[in-house]
Amino acid sequence: MPSDTDAKETAAPKKTVTAQKLESKQQEISVTEFFEKNKQILGFDSRSKSLLMGIKEAVDNSLDNCEEANILPEISVKIDRLNDEDYHVSIEDNGTGITHKAMPNVFGRLLYGSRFHALRQSRGQQGIGISATIMYGNITTGKPAHAQSKIEGEDEVAWQMDIFIDTKTNRPVVTNDKAFTWEGKQHGTLIEYTTKGRYITGKQSIFEYLKETAIVNPHAQITFYDPEGTKTVFERATDIMPPRPKEIKPHPEGMEIGDLFKYAGNTQQKTMKSFMKNDFSRITDRLASEIFEISKVNPDKKPDKLEREEAIAILDAIKKVKIMAPPTDCLSPIGDTLIKKGLMHVLDGLRPEYYATPITRSPKAVNGNPFVVEAGIVYGGDIPSDGQVQIYRFANRVPLLFKQGDCAITKAVSEMDWRRYGLEQRGGKGIPFGPAIILVHVASTKVPFTSEGKEAVASFPELQSEIGLALRLCARNLKSHLNKMERKNKTHAKFEIVQEILPDMAEKVSQHLNKPVPDLSRTITKIMNVVWVEPTVVKENKKLRTIKYTIYNYTSQPRTIRLHAQVPKEAVNLSLFSGDYFLDMNDEGKANWEVKDIAPSTSAVVSFELSGEMADTFDADDIFFSGLNPVMVMGAEMLPGDWGIKGLDIVQTAEDDLVEDDADEKEEVEDLDDE
């Protein structure tokens, strides 16, 4: 019998042979092969979702292209059902078009794009979306995609081609490449492909995606043909193009140590101080000196010689100095007025009672990438009141329809106590119930998504804190409106009693006593003891509105009051703002009126006109006052202190306006700010 030693010696060579065999099987995998086998990472994890994701990627690219060229987007989406599983999809736009040379790579090569390294806001960043859509169509149906494109110019012909993607090499395989005359088309692109899918309706449908896209892109016109042939047009709500984002340098706030090493290794600067000053935004010579003084790092050190301990010291020093917020021109937030316009335009069928004034926060940074948070709330009307509120989530103007529970936006909504703002919420946590729609938009140079599918925003503390603060401010506008409506209804009831019943009683008593009817104006004034501001809106036509505020003095003394309104500056023509009471208006559209010495039991009228497509975004109930004790004014809110008007008796400040008067909420917001 062989000994144990002989057995071990015999077994040893087998391990070597096995390792060699394993090594021989190892080979490089192309990115296309990887995503071919892991389609779910890109969002192609079900038939219904795959159909939507393909359209989403194409529409995102079309919107980006049009906005970069300052073209008002006109996008057409058409779906034809071929059989139970196969669909033919076509998306056409009026963008700049794609050059003939670039077409194969744009549509047939993954991780090929122009936006990945650019620090500015855009929908597409990774260069994966549309080529992944074509890859998915190729492998599920075996059919090539068809692309057509024409760039602007009278002598430019259009080009068309069929495209397969070689998954082994991540290269396009082009056939039927030829020029043609595209009748009636000045410039633009058409992409057609056949794919496996399933068309559904509801919250995660293609129709819902296009509807929400129209809300946050009110400058776009989107036409949709569903598989049944039904045509839906989401009309353009405004001709105002969003500002074109500019590319910027990275912001040092929230930067990770790996980012610092990457930037230091790639810089052309010779010293650490010049590196900090020239390769980052908002770092001045003084700030750079302060950072190196705190960190004890030699400012003349070569960046590529940076040590780990020195990098940690620099990052700690950055947290201790006061650095300006990131520049805003790299971002393209929707803006308060256009958020409201988009919501009004698309949700008009629900006839909401109130659009809470949308909030756009100041820019911040996470991992060195600037971001800004916007929020809005729609309330009442025909919005269902017996279920959870709808949450519209957006990132860089793109709807997020999937993985709601994993998203920082949903978590921020769930962690708020909505009960104090007039919505039902069981246990003070979770998605609230009530007739409301909550909109949150995150705009960033690099949105921190949870996956390549770009379906949910990652829960970075800085980001979630900003979302929470934006929601609180927006919710306060809603609560203020609900409280105002409640007080107004009660006061109206009191007015009816005083102004209708008392005169009737006086008349009947006078008839009974055969005496003249007494003048009750002073009596009514004493009973009411308020200054009442009553708005009325006259809609001359779709783009012209006359706003009137009647101010009744139901007090025993003459009263002077100032009125203030934030009107949409796009709808303002100063010639339409006239009258003895008008004072001035600043560049932001903040208008001011002063009505002096309104005698007791009399009234005065402030009126103005708004014209243009933004005229309907002004809510006449959003009127503020100053100069009087808030206790005696009904129908208007006390002017917030952040309006910056001097010489008025204003007790509120911008900081106070962030929170409720009760200490609990003040502590809650302070905790968020500390985070």
Q: Tokens standing for 533? A: 């501001």
Q: Report d(CA 376, CA 374) in Å as an integer.
A: 7
DSSP string, 200-260: --STTSHHHHHHHHHHH-TT-EEEEE-TT--EEEE-----PPPPPPPP-PPP-TT--HHHH
Yes or no: say if 564 and 624 are a contact pair by the CB < 8 Å rule. yes
**pLDDT per residue over 263-272, tens digit each?**
888 888 999 9
* Confidence at residue 38, expressed as pLDDT on a 0 to 100 scale: 54
Q: Which helix (H) or strand (E) holds 431?
A: none
- pLDDT in the model for residue 188: 92
In degrees and rounded to multiples of 5, residue 162 shows phi and psi of -100, 140
Residues 576 and 572: their CA atoms lie apart, in Å, by 8
Residue type at 357 in one-letter notation: T
Q: Which two tokens stand for residue 142?
A: 């075996």
Say what the pLDDT of residue 358 is.
Answer: 82
Rounded to whole angstroms, the Cα distance separating 501 from 277 reads 75
- Residues of each domain in the chain carrying CATH 1.10.8.50: 257-320
Q: Residue 644's pLDDT is what?
A: 56
The rounded Cα 654 to chain-centroid distance in angstroms is 23
Q: Which of 318, 381, 384, 372 is nearest to 352 (CA)?
A: 381
Sign of CA dihedral 642, 412, 381, 217: positive
Sheet order of strands, 637-638 included: 582-585, 590-598, 559-566, 624-626, 637-638
For domain 520-639, give the fold: Immunoglobulin-like (2.60.40)
pTM of model > 0.85 = no
Where helices occur in 296-375 by DSSP H, the ranges are 308-320, 336-346
Output the 3-class SS for 597-633.
EECCCCEEEEEEEEECCCHHHCCCCCCEEECCCHHHE
Looking at residue 263, its amino acid is Y
Q: HSE (CB half, 13 Å, CA atoms) of 310?
A: 16
User: Which positions of the chain have pLDDT values less than 70?
Assistant: 1-44, 110-129, 154, 367-368, 499, 521-522, 526, 578, 642-675
CA distance 604 to 602: 7
366-394 as b/e, with b when 16 or more CB fall inside 10 Å? bbbbbbbbbbbbbbbeebeeeeebebbbb
Helix axes of 461-496 and 663-674: crossing angle, nearest 10 degrees: 160
State the pLDDT at residue 665.
Answer: 40
CATH assignment, 32-195 = 3.30.565.10
Q: Distance between CA atoms of 505 and 111, rounded to whole angstroms? A: 82
- One CATH from 3.40.50.300, 3.30.230.10, 3.30.450.40, 3.30.1180.20 for 333-480: 3.30.230.10
Phi, psi (5° rounding) for residue 175? -135, 165
- Range(s) for CATH 3.30.230.10 in the chain? 333-480
- What pLDDT shows up at residue 122? 58
Query: Which ranges in the chain are annotated with CATH 2.60.40.1170?
Result: 520-639
Q: Which residue has the tokens 């302060």?
A: 290
Domain with CATH 3.30.565.10 in the chain: 32-195
What residues does 194 pair with on adjacent strands?
Answer: 88
Whole-angstrom distance, CA of residue 121 vs CA of residue 655: 29
Indicate the CATH number for domain 257-320.
Answer: 1.10.8.50
> CA 181, 184, 185: angle at the middle one, nearest 5?
75
Bridge-based pairing state of the strands 436-444 and 390-395: parallel
